Structure 1
Amino acid sequence: MLKTTYSVFLICFSLLSSISYGQVTAIQNIQGRKIQSLNGKWNYIIDPYENGYYDYRHDPFDQSKTGTGGYFDDKVQKDKSELIEYDFDHSPQMNVPGDWNSQSEKLELYEGNIWLRRKFDAKPEKGKRYFVYFGAVNYEAHVYLNGKKLGVHKGGFTPFQFDVTNNLKAGENSIVLKVDNIRKQDEIPTVNTDWWNYGGITRDVFLAEFPEHFINDYKLQLVKGNKNLLNFSVKLADATAGQEITLSIPELKLEKKYKTDAEGKVADEFTWNNLSLWSPESPKLYGVNIKTDKENISDKIGFRTIQVAGDSILLNGKSVFLRGISIHDENPLLAGRLRSEGDMRMMLQWAKDMNCNYVRLAHYPHNEEMIRLADEMGLLVWAEVPVYWTISWTNPATYANAKQQLTDLIVRDKNRASVIVWSIGNETPLSDARLSFMSNLAETARSLDDTRLVAAALEVHRDGNNIILNDPLGEKIDLVSFNEYAGWYWGGNPSEITKYNFDIKYKKPVVITEFGGDALGGFHADENTRWSEEYQEALYKNQITLLSKIGALRGMTPWILTDFRSPRRQHPIYQNFWNRKGLISETGKKKKAFFVLKDFYDQMQVKYK
């Protein structure tokens, strides 16, 4: 059955190869290029009926014979008799990057279509190429420049760009997006999630200038399991042979010169013996330059190895315990996505305050700046794509979308030493179709990057007092990584959960990706009273006792660092659209369970020195 399903998928993939997702793989290290920020105030028009996209017969304006008539034309009235039923210039504004739900009270619960427009000046030069780059837009974006459609992108958390070389004007330009964040069954994620569906242009927007033949992608990392052998590769945006490439790391007095092959590529492996390896205790980053005669790209890159051996996780060849916590891309103190370096640094510092050396960035790709800060601050990272709960497992287009998002995540972050796990999903129910879907994603991850671990947050089931993990996907991934909520969703009160035992099929390192329970910050009662800090505190104490029975336990990321907003959580007293499983409240106050986990991590740090 699995082989048949896999064959059907392969056939469908070949049929889908002509379907455009609106972008080629995103350009590596966009911040290291010549960029003009398009962040700031954007005008917006709320369009729940999509009047700006469809005519009254529900035919798209941008597919009409003239390709005009929609809001993307950004027209202004030139004659007093002219009928125009929209006006960007007199429409309200929102901040970009930023979601619309947190910027207008009437949009707090809005899921639908909104048009956003920004005017900007440009001075394009001959012989240069220009791209408009988006860090993320949630979820489906139709992008237009000066009335011409550039394309469509699906996926709310991954970067994309469009070539605008032939559309960009000297002087004033108008860029318009139709953004749709309506949840749909066949998308990634699907209709059912447990986080706020923030719509809008949620990450940076840049106009980027490049030479005619530019570096689209590069990689510099240690070969798996080798502390001295570096793998270096470069790919130009086009197949230009003979382009000279210079790699240099000034601190190491390393300089190597190459020429691109007929495909515009460079690939090399070479030994370097005096590397200082990156680790949470010593997050060493080297300044790296990659040059052509037209470009000089700077990056900061750390070098480390990660692998499994039996039931151990080896970082730079030494056994490590992953003292972690899960994090959403949301600021509990200020509604909306994390907007700035300050927001992100605050979240990661809270994790370090708990003595974490590891974070799970759930349940989707977080901002690239978050990963770079983890590099700098010394936090290992589990990076994930939103293959979450009830995906349309048999739909080839859904798989293609998931594969593209996973590819974009890996391409973007493959040079970040902090990232040690590519996660292909969370709590996906068992079926043959799901196993095929997820197994193929695991193979994709390994084909793109064989230097990191591949995992997924699996589910368990129970038989009496046994907690059983026998998901067949466990054969395909590197960790026994699973969620369990004894003491909250099942298993009785916290004091009762230590009676359980684990029955785990696979002899691999065990990393508990979620456990926990809700507590309303500041609500105090006895340890058997739901929603109290004492209940959560007792739950954490007994969970640590329960999980310590697992001999192969090598890490955990309890759910979750801070309270976060969720439409699923509706109790008017204790939740009020908040998931209260955070160890830090929405006011920034540390709950009692925070200190239980910190004490445990202090002990594990000593044990794994």
Structure 2
Amino acid sequence: MQLLVGPRETVSIDGVWQAIPDQYEQHDGYDEDYFDDLDQPDIEMMHRSIYEPEASTDADLIDYNIYDGYSVQVPSSLGENIPEFRGYEGWMWFAQTFDRSLIEDGDRTHLRFGAVNYKTKVWLNGHELGTHEGGFTPFSFEATDALEDGENVVVVRVDSKRYEDGMPEKMTDFYNFGGINRGVDLVTTPAEFIRNFKVGTTIADGAVDIDISAWVDASEPSEPVTVEIPDLGVETELEAENGPAFSGTISIPESAVDLWSPSDPRLYTVRLSYRGDTIEDRVGLREVSVDGGEVRINGEPIWLRGIALHEEVAGQGRALDSEDIRTRFQWLNELGCNYARLAHYPHTEEMARVADEEGILLWEEVPAYHDVNFGDEDVQELYRQQLRELIQRDWNRASVILWSIANETNHNDETRNEVLPQMADYVRELDDTRLVTAACFIKDTDDGLVIDDPLKGHLDVVGINEYYGWYYGDADDMRRFQDDPEGTPVVISETGGGAKWGYHGESNERWTEEFQADIYRGQTSALEDLEQIAGMSPWILFDFRAPIRQNEYQRGFNRKGLIDQHGRKKEAFDVLQEFYQSGRLE
């Protein structure tokens, strides 16, 4: 179960760390046995492992010093923070010290990472705490027994290589930003504490049912978990289930609750207590559902006016700060969006927290991208792990309405067609209060455009990635979509075309702003009368790094953004803005 950290008091150990590259992977006891056999103490010391703090201070001949490496800011993307390492993929050792006095008194201490790309191994004072695979989700290790009075030394080995059996797989159309991309915190808790909790909402017969589950970290939970929602005058106890789980339902008249919605993003403080531990969060109460071809919030249909975006800032990579996040929401609001697709991996959790405040609905996804080896059991377990870490992190965010399980995977692959429905079921086991989706393809037939993917029967909402007017066909070809108002809702999860900011010409000249703007005119005019289309998130809000994109207009960037990487708007921004704000979708 994910350690819920957002609402807790934490001690950040962000700041200046030391980084040591290890391209040949030699600093983790390389040839240690061989040099032990030589029985020459000085040579043995030269080949001690880098995670042993004393190895950096006991000899002058060693080839590293964790106290004096490259000074880097954490969080940061390595090649952005140290330009000479741009493009570097491999082992990098990071080290940081902190004093025990920084930590509040508590029975237990946890070391928590917001995200590290891609494989991670962590030591504290030479003691291994654990390992993690995956570059976009949080993880934590218990550090209590490894703590020492005075100075403590954290050593982190980050392997930023891409792997065929990884997730994402080795080839992607976005940049591989290695490093400790999100914050690192020390978290103190009592010996027994609430590890996580989940709030779900259903509306029926004039009542709002608030379903609350909690998980206690204790060998044998001996007391009830209490719940308070002060603004609703609610206080109750959850009932114990098997092992560490507690649950209960609070029923309140609908007239007494301000339901969360994009137009009124009301948040309530939900406070849980167990013995000496209290944790609270700001949670929106709302229900998301589908009815025929419609997506509904609190029973009311909504057309998802969206845009897709990557997690990237020029010169910073994926290490976004609060100002970067607020800038994204300024652009979303300026466009007239009520929805955003966070592609192609979990973004920082602050995105969902701000979306809760701003009333922006979210599609979140894991990087099951293109050519995943779905038949490999280890890959399947990694798949479940990343789904679990994302969902348990964000399942209290009212803004998140769609969990996406895949992007542009091969619908002719029989193994994929066996595994993805299993993953859809797994998502619903974790959280059945949201909608399951995936970004699929569309097929052009004599009868029109159809969704020819066996996965569609396992999804609540079908995403379609289509590029009419750019890679093929005409921009308004979606008019030929075989519309079924009673079918599964469809969201255009990607569409659009490329343009280099400042490059102008005729509307039929590729890579000009005019050409891109014309695609948006055709696409939006084709969609507005299709009843099964419940929204769109064109590709993409801003230009982003993409190593395979190397023609004279791109030079390492995907140029499909409405804004370039420096924040300069292209003409298509105004076209989409007019469509969203025109009222034609009401």
What is the DSSP-based 3-state SS (H/G/I as helix, E as strand, rest coil) of the residue aligned with 2:381?
helix
Q: Does 1:307 align with 2:289?
A: yes
**What is the Cα deviation at residue 337 of structure 1?**
1.3
Q: What is residue 369 of structure 1 aligned with on the other side?
A: 350
Measure, in 2, the Cα distance between the counterparts of 1:59 and 1:341. Answer: 50
The Cα of 1:235 is off from its aligned counterpart by 0.9
C-alpha separation in 2, matches of 1:222 and 1:168? 41
Alpha-carbon spacing, 1:127–1:560, altered in 2? closer, same or farther (3 Å) = closer
2:416 corresponds to 1:434: yes
Q: Give the one of 261, 276, 279 matched to 1:294.
A: 276
Q: Please state if 1:97 is matched with 2:75.
A: yes
8 Å Cα contact 2:49/2:55 also seen in 1? no
2:451 is aligned with 1:469: yes
Of the structure 1 ranges 196-205 and 125-134, higher mean CA displacement relative to structure 2 is found in 125-134
Q: How far is 1:257 from its partner?
A: 3.1
In the TM superposition, residue 40 of structure 1 has moved relative to its aligned partner by 0.6
TM-superposed deviation, 1:250? 1.5
Structure 2 Cα separation of the partners of residues 607 and 387 of structure 1: 32
Equivalent-residue separation in structure 2 for 1:413 and 1:79 (angstroms)? 45
The answer to whether the Cα contact below 8 Å between 1:387 and 1:424 also exists between their aligned partners in 2 is yes
SS at match of 1:376: helix
Alignment match of 2:138 (pick from 159, 163, 168): 159
Q: Deviations over 1:241-291 (max 9, x none)?
A: 332422112211211234645623321112012110001100000122212
CA RMSD of superposed structures (Å): 2.3
TM-score, normalised via structure 1 length: 0.90
Secondary structure class of the residue paired with 1:411: helix
Question: What aligned pairs does 1:324-473 form with structure 2 within 5 A after superposition?
Answer: 324-332=306-314, 334-430=315-411, 431-463=413-445, 466-473=448-455
* CA apart distance, 1:225: 6.2
Q: Tell me by how many angstroms 1:185 deviates.
A: 0.8
Change (3 A) 1:173 1:465: same
Contact 1:137/1:200 (<8 A) preserved: yes
Q: Report the 3-state secondary structure (helix = DSSP H, G, I; strand = E; otherwise coil) of the residue aligned with 1:223.
A: strand
Stretch of structure 1 that moved more, 229-238 or 132-141? 229-238
Partner residue of 2:266 out of 271, 284, 303: 284
- Aligned equivalents of 2:57 and 2:9: distance in 1? 37
Post-superposition shift, 1:488? 1.1
Kept in 1, the 8 Å contact 2:507–2:514? The answer is: yes
Letter aligned with residue 149 of structure 2 = A
Q: 1:282 to 1:400 in 2, by over 3 A?
A: same
The one of 216, 219, 222 aligned to 2:195: 216
- Compute the displacement of 1:309 (Å): 0.8
CA offset digits 1:327-384 (Å, max 9, x no partner): 111124x431142111111112201110000000111111111100000111000010
**Cross-structure match for 2:21:** 46
- Equivalence for 2:93: 115
What is the DSSP-based 3-state SS (H/G/I as helix, E as strand, rest coil) of the residue aligned with 1:353?
Answer: helix
Match in the other structure for 1:566: 546
Range moving further from structure 2, 482-491 or 248-257 = 248-257
One-letter code aligned to 1:289: R
Alignment of 1:587-598 (within 5 A): 587-598=566-577
Which residue pairs with 2:302 in the alignment? 320
CA contact (8 A) 1:498 1:545 kept: no
Give the % identical residues: 38
1:180–1:374 Cα change, 3 Å: same
The answer on whether the counterparts of 1:482 and 1:514 sit within 8 Å (CA) in structure 2 is yes
Query: Alignment partner for residue 207 of structure 1, among 168, 171, 186?
Result: 186
Q: Which stretch has the larger CA shift, 369-378 or 287-296?
A: 287-296
Q: TM-score, structure 2 length as denominator?
A: 0.93
Choose from 185, 188, 192 the match for 2:167.
188
The 2-side partners of 1:480 and 1:225 are apart by 26
Distance 2:335 2:478 in 1: 28
Q: For the residues of structure 2 that align with 1:51 and 1:327, how far apart are their CA atoms?
A: 38
What secondary structure sits across from 1:89 in the alignment?
A: coil
Is the aligned partner of 1:251 residue 2:231? yes
Deviation per CA, 1:62-86, whole angstroms, max 9, x where unpaired? Answer: xxx99x9221113356566x53111
Q: Which residue of 1 aligns with 2:115?
A: 136
Contact 1:338 1:344 in 2 (8 A): no
- SS at structure 2 position matched to 1:408: helix
Distance 2:478 2:112 in 1: 53
3-state secondary structure, aligned to 1:201: coil
Q: What does residue 523 of structure 2 align with?
A: 543
**3-state SS of 2:6 partner:** helix
Q: CA deviation at 1:139?
A: 0.4
What is the CA-CA distance between 1:314 and the residue it aligns to?
1.1
Q: Which amino acid aligns with 2:2?
A: A
What amino acid is aligned across from residue 37 of structure 1 in structure 2?
A: S
Whole-Å separation in 2 of the counterparts to 1:429 and 1:269: 41
Q: Secondary structure at the match of 2:331?
A: helix
Contact 1:241 1:262 in 2 (8 A): no
State the distance in 1 between where 2:493 and 2:99 align: 47
Aligned position for 1:34: 9
Question: For residues 607 and 574 of structure 1, do their structure 2 counterparts lie closer, same or farther at Cα, with a shift above 3 Å needed?
Answer: closer
Question: What is the one-letter code of the residue matched to 1:462?
Answer: D
Count of aligned pairs? 572
Separation in structure 2 between the aligned mates of residue 219 and residue 471 of structure 1, nearest angstrom: 33
Q: Partner residue of 2:63?
A: 85
Superposed CA offset, 1:422-467 (max 9, x none): 0001000121100112111100011111111000000123346833
Tell me the residue number matched to 2:40: none
Partner-residue secondary structure (3-state), 2:499: coil
- Single out whichever of 291-300 and 195-204 deviates more from structure 2: 291-300
Q: Distance between the aligned counterparts of 1:102 and 1:401, measured in 2?
A: 28
CA offset at residue 510 of structure 1? 1.4
Q: Secondary structure at the match of 1:90?
A: coil
Structure 2 unaligned residues grouped into runs of 5+ = 37-43
Output the CA distance in 2 between the equivalents of 1:192 and 1:576. 18
Q: Which residue does the alignment assign to 2:39?
A: none
Any stretches of 5+ residues in structure 1 without a counterpart? 1-24
Distance in 2 of aligned mates of 1:143 and 1:335: 24
The alpha carbon displacement at 1:556 in A equals 0.3
Query: Quick one: distance in 1 between partners of 2:239 and 2:534?
Result: 44
| Paired residue secondary structure (1:272) | strand
The reply on whether 1:228 has 2:208 as its aligned counterpart is yes
The separation in 2 between residues aligned to 1:58 and 1:197, in whole angstroms, is 35
Conserved 8 A contact 1:465-1:500: no
Amino acid at match of 2:420: M
Question: Which amino acid in the other structure matches residue 115 of structure 1?
Answer: W
Query: SS at the partner of 1:71?
Result: coil
Match of 1:529 among 509, 513, 517: 509
Distance in 2, matches of 1:87 and 1:77, equals 5
